Amino acid sequence: MVKQTIQIFARVRPTKKTTSVYSVDDEEAKAGSSLEFVVPRDLADGFINNKKESYVFRFQKVFDQESKQEEVFEHIAKPVADNVLGGYNGTIFAYGQTGSGKTFTITGGAERYSDRGIIPRTLSYLYQYFSQDSSKVYSAHISYLEIYNEVGYDLLDPRHEASRLEDLPKVTIMEDEDQNIHLKNLSIQQSANEEEALNLLFLGDTNRMIAETPMNQASTRSHCIFTVHVCSREPGSSTLRRSKLHLVDLAGSERVGKTGVGGLQLTEAKYINLSLHYLEQVIIALSEKNRSHIPYRNSMMTSVLRDSLGGNCMTTMIGTVSVDKRNIDESISTCRFAQRVALIKNEARLNEELDPTLVIIRLKKEIQSLKEELALATGEQREDELTEEEMQKLGQQLKTFLEDPDPDVTLDLGPDMRKIQHCFTLLKVMVREKFTGVADGGDSAPTPEVPSEPGSPQSEELKKLREMLQQRDNEISVLVNMLKKEKKKVLDAATQLASVTSGHTLSQSALQLPEATPSELAVIQDREPAPRDSAPYTVHRRRESSSPNFGVLAPCEQHIPGRLYEPQASFGVSMWGCINSAVRWNGR
Ligand X SMILES: Nc1ncnc2c1ncn2[C@@H]1O[C@H](COP(=O)(O)OP(=O)(O)OP(=O)(O)O)[C@@H](O)[C@H]1O
Known binding positions for ATP: 96-103
Among residues 92, 152, 38, which one has the least CA distance to residue 320?
Answer: 92
User: Which member of 87, 90, 101, 310 binds ligand X (CB under 6 A)?
Assistant: 101
- 207 to 226, contacts with ligand X by CB under 6 A? 216, 218-220
Tell me whether residue 3 or residue 112 sits nearer to ligand X (CB atom): 112
Q: Which stretch binds ligand X (CB under 6 A): 46-54, 97-105, 496-504, 546-554?
A: 97-105
Q: Across-strand partners of 233?
A: 137
Report d(CA 366, CA 369) in Å as an integer.
Answer: 5
Q: Which residues are annotated as a binding site?
A: 96-103
Using CB under 6 A as the binding criterion, the count of chain residues that bind ligand X stands at: 18
Element (H, E) at 480: helix 457-501
For position 251 contacting ligand X by CB under 6 A, the verdict is: yes
Element (H, E) at 392: helix 388-403
Extract the runs of DSSP E, i.e. beta strands, from 350-411.
352-354
Tell me whether residue 204 or residue 252 sits nearer to ligand X (CB atom): 252
For position 98 contacting ligand X by CB under 6 A, the verdict is: yes
User: Which member of 83, 89, 103, 191 binds ligand X (CB under 6 A)?
Assistant: 103
What single-letter DSSP state applies at residue 104?
Answer: H
For position 423 contacting ligand X by CB under 6 A, the verdict is: no
x-marked contacts with ligand X along 316-345 as a string, rule CB under 6 A: ----x-------------------------
For position 10 contacting ligand X by CB under 6 A, the verdict is: no
Element (H, E) at 272: helix 263-287
Tell me whether residue 218 or residue 535 sits nearer to ligand X (CB atom): 218
Report d(CA 401, CA 189) in Å as an integer.
Answer: 43
Tell me whether residue 208 or residue 422 sits nearer to ligand X (CB atom): 208
User: Which member of 120, 252, 319, 567 binds ligand X (CB under 6 A)?
Assistant: 252
For position 120 contacting ligand X by CB under 6 A, the verdict is: no
Burial of 212 (0-12, 13-18, 19+ CB in 10 A): exposed
For position 455 contacting ligand X by CB under 6 A, the verdict is: no
Q: Which stretch binds ligand X (CB under 6 A): 100-108, 165-173, 352-360, 437-445?
A: 100-108
Residue 438, CA distances (Å) to 392, 435, 452 in order: 21, 8, 21
Shortest CB 253 distance to ligand X, Å: 8
For position 555 contacting ligand X by CB under 6 A, the verdict is: no
Report d(CA 272, CA 267) in Å as an integer.
Answer: 9
User: Which member of 2, 14, 180, 199 binds ligand X (CB under 6 A)?
Assistant: 14
What single-letter DSSP state applies at residue 578?
Answer: H
Report d(CA 297, CA 514) in Å as an integer.
Answer: 115
CA angle 328, 331, 337 (to 5 degrees): 145
Shortest CB 42 distance to ligand X, Å: 27
The amino acid at residue 452 is S
Tell me if 154 sits within 8 A of 183, measured CB to CB: no
For position 99 contacting ligand X by CB under 6 A, the verdict is: yes
Tell me whether residue 311 or residue 319 sits nearer to ligand X (CB atom): 319
Give residues in contact with ligand X (CB under 6 A).
Answer: 13-14, 96, 98-104, 109, 216, 218-220, 251-252, 320
